[in-house]
Structure 1
């Protein structure tokens, strides 16, 4: 039997070297392509962010009532002012911004009082804090938080503040999560650390399940509020009393209520069958006189506690890339539109 001729060692070495050269050339080509793609992505991303970038305005940010109406919010534009509380005229919401230097994850204000939920990265962990701010954004009180800031509200008088944090899990769409909602009297410093201390009544009977979670306070006045209670896979609108530490369930499938300035309507997010499990909500409005609800013209899913710019219009954010603020009429008419780019947690100061 004739054996195949054996390749000479020199030929083997040459072949291996050629293979290596081909491999290196391929790697360089792939790296070059990846670099071009990466550069192109970064360039597109930068152009996308810089396009329409809000200009800087002169002045100071104030929460004091009076003067021309304005909006104070957390700015999300990339750069040195990212996460700072910023102010714009209410009639020019996408105009030049005045920056404060105060950074917040969540923010709200009313009657010259602000609540700012902050995060700070330490050497080994991240800590969270609630700051009570006066009308000039000076800190008047500081309270450590047990988890990730999520919701914040101030009563119309500015005397009460509330916030919600995640202490387990990180989203309402998860099947298991844990929240803690606190209420603070900004005048006395009296703190109710958790609404879980409240005695809840459902259908005329005591209701305090072990898996109860509370979130999304919206104040009626200094003594009363609405909020969400979650238990057993259901959510309930509750009416709470700060003085007696009691609450009563009013209806189901209602989350993150937001009371209109005139106290007649509640905007909320509602779980709608057929939507993705991670974003199952649509924006609705409840008429408190008739207890009838209707959807608004925003058909995209959202996870936010909306704000009211006035008695007839809602403002909210969507979980998209830019985190713009959008607005839509509360009566179900019209269509959503962008109110302010790269912004979150708005409060109207009048």
Structure 2
């Protein structure tokens, strides 16, 4: 073989290798772009600034469940186009809520032999203000309307509300003083007009009143659940009604949406959604026939938002609060929304 032919073969091989390298780079870039989008036809998610500050326009901030590099990050989308493109923050949360420029983020800490969890208070720029270790798996989180109080619930035994073999711990934090009530079980329970004590007492699903002096929550004891109203100054909780779970107070303070166990439904999916008028104590069933295991959010005084299982973990749905209409999908691959304006 002549020297000229050898040089020609070598040059051809170099060009082929270069072409393969370029093709690999193009394909890798294409795959990265595909990953930055949840899935074909799914929401587009890009990194950017996310704020909890009031006055930033009507928007929804939530845990992004879309598959890709921004999964589990707090993301935002316009309230009038919640299914459109999303801006991801880089801050990851398992459960989240926000109001008046304050956020509460229940997150997992990776590393170590066993996964641990923290409740992290966030400011309007999503910077950590304080952090508190959690005794179990995060499940519920709420911030008061004025942004001065936060509450969260974790499973310390079991991992589902559907059965009876579970234990929860619910904590309250006053952000003005830094005082942490590690467990609502330290409050005095008033049941049927008398002080009540039982080792099986559990609380979950706190929702605060607008004046930030009281709250509603679920109390479980003796195989039953109760709606309770809590008085923060007196450190008492008083039972109001049986068979109410995960209450959420309307912005005008007149109604609670909640999930209720309905006889005859499957043990693993026992709930239906109802609204309770606090003045008349009259219940209204809502037009959602599926079992909802969520603490519903009020988008406004007329509209509710909640999650149901989806292809990538959870999807958000919306529903009228007066019992009319029908459920409508609000956003794919999303969980734990807070509506800010």
TM-score, normalisation: structure 2: 0.87
Residue pair 1:302, 1:319 contacting (<8 A) in 2 also: no
Query: Which of 260, 263, 273 does residue 270 from structure 1 map onto?
Result: 260
Q: Distance in 2 between matches of 1:153 and 1:227?
A: 11
1:214 alignment partner, one of 203, 212, 217? 203
- Distance across 1 between alignment mates of 2:280 and 2:42: 44
Structure 2: segments with no counterpart, 5+ residues: 1-34
- 1:342 matches 2:333: yes
Whether the 8 Å CA contact 1:282–1:302 is kept in 2: the answer is yes
RMSD: 1.4
Q: CA deviation at 1:320?
A: 3.9
CA distance in 1, matches of 2:328, 2:147: 30
Contact 1:147 1:166 in 2 (8 A): yes
Matches of 2:198 and 2:273 in 1, distance apart? 28
Q: Which residue of 1 aligns with 2:292?
A: 302
Q: TM-score, normalised by structure 1?
A: 0.85
Q: Compute the displacement of 1:121 (Å).
A: 2.9
Matched pairs, number? 304
Q: Where in structure 2 are the equivalents of 1:137-286 lying within 5 Å?
A: 137-220=126-209, 221-286=211-276
Give the secondary-structure state (helix, strand or coil) at the position aligned to 2:62. Answer: strand
Look at both structures and tell me which one has the larger radius of gyration over its CA atoms: 1
1:333 paired residue number: 324
Counterpart CA distance in 2 for 1:275 and 1:199 is 34
How far, CA to CA, are the matches of 2:47 and 2:338 in structure 1? 20
Contact 2:152 2:206 in 1 (8 A): yes
Kindly indicate whether residue 297 of structure 2 is the aligned counterpart of residue 321 of structure 1.
Answer: no
What secondary structure does 1:196 align onto? helix
Q: Is the 8 A contact 1:114 1:134 kept in 2?
A: yes
Shift of 1:58: 6.9
Q: Secondary structure at the match of 1:137?
A: coil
Moved segments of 4+, more than 4 Å: none
CA distance in 1, matches of 2:176, 2:70: 31
> Which residue is equivalent to 2:115?
126
Structure 1 stretches lacking a partner, 5+ long: 1-45
